Every structure is written in structure tokens, then in C-alpha cells.
Amino acid sequence: MKNFLRILSLVIVFLATPLSSYAAEKVEYLKTDWSFKGLFGKFDRGALQRGYQVYTEVCASCHSMKYLSYRNLSEKGGPEFTEQQAKAIAASFDVTDGPNSDGEMFTRPGKLSDKFVMPYENVKAAQAANGGAYPPDMSVLVKARGGGVDYIYSLLQGYEDPPVGITLDEGVHYNKYMYGNKIKMSNPLSDGLIEYSDGTNATVEQMSKDVTTFLMWTAEPHLETRHQMGFKAIVYLIILTILVYFSMKRIWSRVETKV
């Protein structure tokens, strides 16, 4: 039994090794405390609401969020705006609907059931407006990058002047956390860029953390449920395992073999 567990745990450790080694060649990311990490990790409601504000006032002019609907903003486990607030947010966007009975497309204020309005008509339009680079959709962005939240958080604060000897083309910026260090997106954040509705001081660091938290939620909207359910499931399994262990001992006590 002991031997068995020792070997098994070794195998599991080894299994995870090649995956973590991907990160080995990359730079050390900036670290911060994420409220959503750990066994009981939950989102910081305030950070999510501020993060939404950063997204909508800064990122949304180029980056789409196509898998989210306005109703998600008031759902449990998310920013938890009130339904009234979410309705108001939705209504502040113009949505193209139709065709109506005359066969015409028309514009109306957004509803809770609408998907987030896209900044560009299509990928080509997005590329044309951004010097050929397509600003990626942000719905699952943190899961689509190797470093996850730490990478996004660092990238937003990683803009600096290029080191001597590196020349950048027109419209290309230097970022020490970007893969290859060259990024088409100009530095999106600066201190005091937006005015938080809850009065928080909008430093670059604060905005980076808030918007990254928001992006974690957009990528994993059920993260809180997952953590809560996971804890219960594992505690249940452990208790059941202990009970089964003792029944097993009892049953096997009838034969003279150890289990």
C-alpha cells in the first residue's frame, strides 16, 4: 500500500512536469494576489465591476467579447450588477436587429439577452483598423495564453522603451512580457485614464488587476460554483473512501491476507 502510493504520486508528479516546463523559457511574470485562486477562491465583486468598466471604456473599442451576453453581468458568480443596472448597460448599446416586416434591418437599444456588441463588423474590418493585426476576442483570452492571468496582468504593465539596439517598425511597441517582445497594441493604460465609479484610485496596476480579474470571469463564468462544488465533492469522496476502507478491512479480516 505504501509502496503503491509512493510510486503513484511519483508518476503524477512526472505527469505534470513537461507541462510546467513550457514556462521555463519565458520571463518571470509579475505576481499579485488573485482572490479566485485556491480551494475556496472567489471573485472580488468590486474588482469585477471595476474590471468591466475598464473593459468597456478602454478595451472594448478594439476587442470583442463575443461569447458573453449582457444578462451574464447580473448572474450569480459574476460582477453581479443588479438586473436594473445590467438592463441599463445593455440599453446603452445599439444593436442591429431584423429584418422587420418590411424586410429592413433596424437599430434598437440592447436587451439582456443580446450578446456583447462587437467593435468591428468582421475580422477584416478589425485588421484594417489596426494596422493588419487582429485584436483577439477577449471571452476566453486568459485561458488561451500560456501564462494565464499572470501573463495578461504583466503584459498590461510591461510596456517600456526598447533596449538599445532594437529598432521597432512603425506601429509596433516594445513589451517585455510579450512573446518576442513586439506588440502591435499601444500601451492601453495610464494612471488616471478612467474614473472608477466607486472612487478607487485608477492606477495602471489597479486597472490591470481589475480588468484581468474580469477576464478570468469571462473565461470561466462558473469558477465559483466549480470551487464550491469541488470542495464538497472531494470531502464527500474522502469520507466515503474512509468508510469503504474500514468495510474492506472488515471483509478481508475473514481471510489471512493483508489489504
Residues that bind another protein (CB under 8 A): 1, 4, 8, 11-12, 14-19, 21-22, 39, 67, 72, 136, 139-140, 143-146, 148, 179, 219-222, 226-227, 229-231, 233-234, 237-238, 240-241, 244-245, 247-248, 251-252, 255, 257, 259
Q: Which is nearer to another protein, 40 or 106 (CB)?
A: 40
Report the amino acid identity of residue 251.
I
Which of 204, 151, 208 minimizes the C-alpha distance to 175?
A: 151
3-state secondary structure of 115: strand
CB of 145 to another protein, least distance (A): 6
The grid cell for 58 is 478602454
Residue with the three cell numbers 485561458: 143
Nearest CB to another protein, comparing residues 144 and 166 = 144
Element (H or E) spanning 97, and its range?
A: strand 94-97
* Least separation in angstroms between CB 2 and another protein: 10
Question: What's the CA gap between 252 and 259, in Å, rounded?
Answer: 7
User: In whole angstroms, how close is the CB of 104 to another protein at the nearest point?
Assistant: 26
- Please report, as a single letter, which amino acid is at residue 210: D
Q: Which is nearer to another protein, 80 or 205 (CB)?
A: 80
User: What is the pairing mode between strands 106-109 and 94-97?
Assistant: antiparallel
Q: Which three cell numbers stand for residue 251?
A: 471483509
55 vs 134 by CB, closer to another protein: 134
Of the pair 99, 246, the CB lying nearest another protein is at 246
Rounded to whole angstroms, the Cα distance separating 253 from 209 reads 57
Query: Minimum distance from CB of 252 to another protein (Å)?
Result: 7
Which lies closer to another protein via its Cβ, residue 18 or residue 165?
A: 18
Amino acid at residue number 61: S
Q: Letter for the amino acid at 166?
A: I
Query: What is the smallest separation between the CB atom of 192 and another protein, expressed in angstroms?
Result: 33
To another protein, the closest distance from the beta carbon of 146 in angstroms equals 5
What cell numbers appear for 47 in the block? 474588482
